[in-house]
Structure 1
């Protein structure tokens, strides 16, 4: 969004405020919302605090990969950037005390408007949360650390030795460069190295006079277990950063799949059991709230819960959005290993949530001039109809006499359901065989109400990666 980048360039012109301090960002977020007239279209804000971002993305290295990043050319630049970030945070603390009252009032009004509106509040960045879960979980990878160190040295050799690089090229192998701040890039490097034919790899290492780096059978067993435990985390990290397909719909299904996979792996791993336990505990500490919403019993103490994530991931939006994605609907539940009773209860819960959200959308979109009698959703008569019917048989009004009581029967009028058309849409959508992820976003008159809900919720990004890229570009512009 070029216009947004232009607005961000003006951050440094805010008087009395450091360019990227909390108040400055809030002010310009408010300016962007007003400029693009999107206040009524905001559903969720995907963001995390600066301290959390630093903890998640700065210098995250898989244990055993430290040697790869030793004496890198960009270490000094990276260190300078990190120190600048720390200085920035301290500058914010100093400047915030001297912020003019009018600026504070503007920010307070903006934050109050978000807090009051239930449809606009913060959710954690999913990629960031996964990164933190992996960061904590990898503390238990000491069992496979010697094997990972070999992989790290082999990869560095392939990038520093022309002879080794040429031999790998001859067998059509390319070892990707890892990145300090993206753990899955290091995971991809492990997968690439262990994917090389063992005999071919060992021959190359022996010819390069690095026999000590040859991978043994035990190394492969440990590394394969490491990859098996990490593969779904890596896939989730990559998949949820999609920009042309709905991404937030992947969150709930991926967390359930990762959780069930770790439970299965816990019974099968031989060498990386400590890593499996650490990953499982780390996953529950952040995403346990979401799993609780899936009617699962989570065994974790209050002390171990990461409250900044645990409670926020309880948001029902994570259960609603997979239903609105044609790829999932309720299939991700039926294909899971959940008990059949839990599957049925969870499916019913999600359908009820979708119905409630559709009703809410209809209320919001009702014309301002519509009276209560014109709108069955807003009309109280539909809700009080059972009470009116029962009034005729109350003790005050005597029951009507009939001559032939054995023949004449009172005919009761069926209760009208003002939301039956929404329920019909949901039922029809569940039986639609179209598995397109955008089925509800394409112009159609088949699902008018459910499509409105899809347009609202599927627009939520799972991660803040696109926003981070905008800020990265603005950083280059400032320099």
Structure 2
């Protein structure tokens, strides 16, 4: 491969063209992952970072296949980095960048369906054609008007294809067979689709929970990952197929990094819906100690904020204090940072978890006076988004507002319209 001459390729990679490896760029020493069969990552890096290097118009080499493309992620494979190394980078700005959790779920589903049997892919492709015909045919729409509307898949959401399959299965078999179309689903194919829905439905639920912009998401990554692993372990007893086996392998490879990331561990503990219920018994003490250290480290900053707020007292506050100077003053208790921090953690963890439907932010708002330092940390960690979907929705809204026929909007009005649209439920 011409592009690989710009990288230090590890020895032994020529034996298996599909084997992933990391190669070091000769110009910036950055490690890029890929394989001999898929070199798009290497080409993208050279073109983006070292545009002066000639690639001799080399196009990415890809695996050709006659299989229908099912459940492809919406983002390109150039984002698919090494499976075993955490995709977490410390940028020059000091902020930590972590891969979108929803996108990782997409990659896991893609891995599973890419390596499953050709029979499953053909059945899914048949469902897509049937759904497209029903949406376009007036006669079919009239025949199924009493049923729920058939959904078709789109290119932006992988779970839209799962929704499409469910919408077809919700139509009674006898009624669906009345639709005049060359393709018909057999009883065996309907059973196969039902099994696919049972296997993939938890991934759809996980995607919807993580992409919800009305609730916290960082604290859900670890419990959701553990839940998916447990689900796949259970269904493998019923469906010992390549799909389940590959989903388990990909989940372990791609999503285990979230269980080891300290940011998500802390967020999960500070979520009163979970606390330490998700971790193993031998991990409880270690995670508790780490949280206490974070609290103790945060207390000096918290005390500085308290002193700053006292220094900002108005003249009226000072005069009122002088007026009541005849009253005996209440002695202020000295605060032991280590003791108070550990007490907050122990007290918080000993309480029962709140219901899954409750809002953790409302909990910390209510218990701010009881756990002031923990509440400060909770706001910091629970505010981290685990997925980029909420931000992408903002761009979609902005595109609808700033249309070509409204291109004379100034920044202030555009910002106000965006604020009203995004907060309409609170106005």
Q: 1:217 matched to which residue of 2? A: 187
- Give the structure with higher Rg (CA): 1
1:376 equivalent to 2:344? Answer no
Aligned to 1:452: 376
How far apart are the structure 1 equivalents of 2:306 and 2:196? 62
**1:261 is matched with which residue?**
231
Structure with the bigger RCO (C-alpha within 8 Å, sep 6+) is 1
Say if 2:275 and 2:353, in contact at 8 Å, map to a contact too.
no
Structure 2 partner of 1:426: 348
User: Residues 469, 418 of structure 1: CA spacing in aligned structure 2 closer, same or farther, 3 A cutoff?
Assistant: closer
Deviation at 1:178, TM superposition (A): 1.3
Equivalent positions of 1:236-275 (< 5 A) are 236-269=206-239, 273-275=241-243
TM-score for both structures, normalised by structure 1: 0.55
Structure-2 change in CA distance of 1:263 and 1:453 (3 Å): same
CA distance in 1, matches of 2:137, 2:145: 12
Q: In 2, distance between residues paired with 1:357 and 1:190?
A: 47
Alignment match of 2:257 (pick from 289, 309, 316): 289
Shift of 1:244: 1.4
The within-5 A match list for 1:36-435 is 64=68, 111-114=91-94, 120-141=95-116, 142-170=118-146, 172-202=147-177, 204-205=178-179, 208=180, 210=181, 212-269=182-239, 273-291=241-259, 314-331=260-277, 333=278, 343-367=280-304, 376-377=336-337, 417=339, 419-428=341-350, 430-431=351-352, 433=354
Please give the root-mean-square deviation of Cα atoms over the aligned residues, in Å: 3.3
* 1:111–1:233 Cα change, 3 Å: closer
Unaligned runs of 5+ in 2: 1-43, 46-66, 79-89, 308-332, 405-427
Contact kept in structure 1, 2:104 and 2:254, CA below 8 Å: yes
* Alignment CA distance shift 1:468-1:420 (3 Å): closer
TM-score w.r.t. length of structure 2: 0.61
SS in 2 for 1:244: coil
Query: Aligned pair in 2 of structure 1 residues 262, 283: CA closer, same or farther (>3 Å)?
Result: same
String of CA shifts for 1:386-419, please: whole Å, max 9, x gaps: xxxxxxxxxxxxxxxxxxxxxxxxxxxxxxx464
TM-aligned CA deviation for residue 374 of structure 1: 6.3
SS of corresponding position for 1:260: helix
Q: Determine if contact 2:268/2:275 at 8 Å carries over to the other structure.
A: yes
**Aligned-pair CA distance for 1:431:** 2.6
Tell me by how many angstroms 1:155 deviates: 0.4
* Equivalent residue pairs, number: 296
In the alignment, is the contact (CA less than 8 A) between 1:324 and 1:440 conserved in 2?
no
**1:246 deviation in Å?**
0.9
What secondary structure, in the 3-state scheme, does the structure 2 residue paired with 1:169 have?
coil
Report the CA distance between 1:474 and its aligned residue.
5.5
Higher normalized helix content (fraction of residues): 1
| Separation in structure 2 between the aligned mates of residue 152 and residue 432 of structure 1, nearest angstrom | 43
Distance 1:359 1:166, change over 3 A: farther
Give SS of 1:346's match.
helix
Q: Structure 1 178/257 Cα, relative in aligned 2: closer, same or farther at 3 Å? A: same
Q: Give the secondary structure class of the aligned counterpart of 2:189.
A: helix
Candidates 415, 418, 441, aligned match of 2:364:
441
- Determine the C-alpha separation between the residues in 1 that align with 2:382 and 2:305: 27
- 1:175–1:192 contact (8 Å) kept in structure 2: yes
